[in-house]
Amino acid sequence: MDKKLEPTLAKLEKEFGGITSEYRGDASLIIAAENIVATCQQVQGLGFELLSALTAVDYWPRESPRFHVIYQFTSVSVNLVLTLRVPVPGINPSLPTISHLYRNANWRERELWDMFGIKFPGHPDLRRILMPADWEGHPLRKDYPLGYEEPQFTFNFDEINLRKPYAEE
């Protein structure tokens, strides 16, 4: 871990609780969901100007917490990176939005809603972003099956063709 990061981590730990872990030199801090906006405000104040990534992991079939939402920050001025992990339960998952602090969180939170079904109360425009507006389900959840297309040969071409979801004329 970078020595310069230690005071930041100590400060965040003291103020918001949370557990620091380290893997291959990357420090990550687990923060409770209710503290995330205050933590992000603090992190932004500490010079982490860039929200590099905002993503989630689904630990299905584990239910509480089912998801971890990962906030990856970069500080351009001090040249540091910091990861925050927020556990989110599987039933009615939701997290407060940080799109008013980091404006690129807008699309990234929409992506999380689209792909994982995590809601962000207070988000200005929480629509699906990558999938069509009428899509059912959230594709990156682990209980969502990976789709595939059946290969068509001459002997079963028509049979498979009937099953294909073509748009109706």
Partner 1 sequence: MPDIQEITVDELKHLVSDRAIQGETVLLNMGPQHPSTHGVLRLLLELDGETVVNCIPDIGFLHTGIEKNMEAKTYQKAEVMSDRLDYMNTVGNNLAYSLAVEKLVDLDVPTRAQAIRVILTELTRFQSHLVWLGTSALDLAAMSMFLYCFREREYILDVMEMCSGQRMMTTYIRPGGLWRDVPVEFEAAVRNILKTFPRRVDEYEALLTRNPLMLDRTYGIGKLTSGECLNFGVTGPMLRASGVKWDLRKDRPYSGYEQYDFEVPTRTEGDVYARYLVRLEEMRQALRIVEQALDKLPMGPVRSTNYKYVPPPRSEIGVSMEALIHHFKLWTEGFEAPGGAIYSAVESPRGELGVYLESDGGPKPYRIHWRTPSFDNLQSLPLMSKGVLVADLVAIIGSVDIVLGDVDR
Nearer to partner 1 among residue 33 and residue 140 (C-beta): 140
Q: Is residue 29 part of the contact set for partner 1 (CB under 8 A)?
A: no
Which of the residues 86 through 125 are near partner 1 (CB under 8 A)? 102-104, 106-108, 124-125
SS3 91: coil
Nearer to partner 1 among residue 14 and residue 25 (C-beta): 25
Among 15, 34, 49, 143, binds partner 1 (CB under 8 A): 49
Do residues 27 and 9 touch, judged by C-beta distance below 8 A?
yes
How far lies 163's CA from each of 132, 151, 160, 167, 169, in Å?
21, 12, 5, 12, 16
Q: What share of the chain is helix, strand, coil (3-state, %, to 5)?
A: 25, 25, 50
Q: Which is it for the CA torsion 23, 28, 31, 33, positive or negative?
A: negative
Minimum gap (Å) between residue 166 Cβ and partner 1: 10
Among 24, 149, 153, 155, binds partner 1 (CB under 8 A): 24
- Which residues are paired to 26 by β-bridges? 23
Nearer to partner 1 among residue 39 and residue 106 (C-beta): 106
Do residues 117 and 128 touch, judged by C-beta distance below 8 A?
no
Q: Is residue 9 part of the contact set for partner 1 (CB under 8 A)?
A: no
Nearer to partner 1 among residue 132 and residue 155 (C-beta): 132
Minimum gap (Å) between residue 155 Cβ and partner 1: 26
Q: How far apart are CA 28 and CA 84, in angstroms?
A: 6
Among 132, 151, 155, 157, binds partner 1 (CB under 8 A): 132
Do residues 121 and 109 touch, judged by C-beta distance below 8 A?
no
Binding site for partner 1 (CB under 8 A): 23-24, 26, 28, 49-53, 55, 57-58, 70, 72, 74, 76, 79, 81, 83, 102-104, 106-108, 124-125, 127-134, 136, 139-140, 144, 146-147, 165, 167
